[in-house]
């Protein structure tokens, strides 16, 4: 039963576009990885991914914060003057 669950988890993650390192952890769980090792790797992957997403969000928000809440986008004068 455990291997069937692992296969379905692997399939689900693949359909969601999971990265190879995450897929490798899931597929190795119960074979070459103990429960503890798999859990450690999954926690590390999650923490790393959360950190990357936070950094990406901060990067998107930085220009907005640096300009006092205004992006300073100027539309060309030809827009809307047909």
How do residues 4-60 score in pLDDT, each as one tens digit?
A: 999 999 999 999 999 999 999 999 999 999 999 999 999 999 999 999 999 999 988
Identify the pLDDT of residue 13: 96
pLDDT at position 62, please? Answer: 80
| Phi, psi of 33, rounded to the nearest 5 degrees | -115, 130
Task: Measure the CA–CA gap between 27 and 19, rounded to whole angstroms.
Answer: 12
Q: Is the pTM of this model over 0.75?
A: no
Q: Evaluate if residue 76 carries a pLDDT over 90.
A: no
Confidence of residue 82 (pLDDT cuts 50, 70, 90): very low
Sorted by sequence, the CB contacts under 8 Å of residue 64 that are 6+ apart come out as: 70, 71
């Amino acid at each position: 039963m455990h291997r069937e669950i692992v296969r379905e988890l692997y399939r689900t993650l693949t359909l969601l576009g999971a990265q190879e390192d995450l897929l490798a952890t899931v597929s190795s769980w119960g074979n070459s990885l103990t429960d503890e090792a798999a859990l450690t790797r999954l926690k590390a992957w999650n923490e790393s991914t959360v950190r990357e997403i936070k950094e990406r969000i901060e990067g998107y928000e930085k220009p907005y914060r640096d300009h006092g809440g205004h992006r300073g986008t100027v539309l060309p004068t030809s827009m809307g003057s047909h």
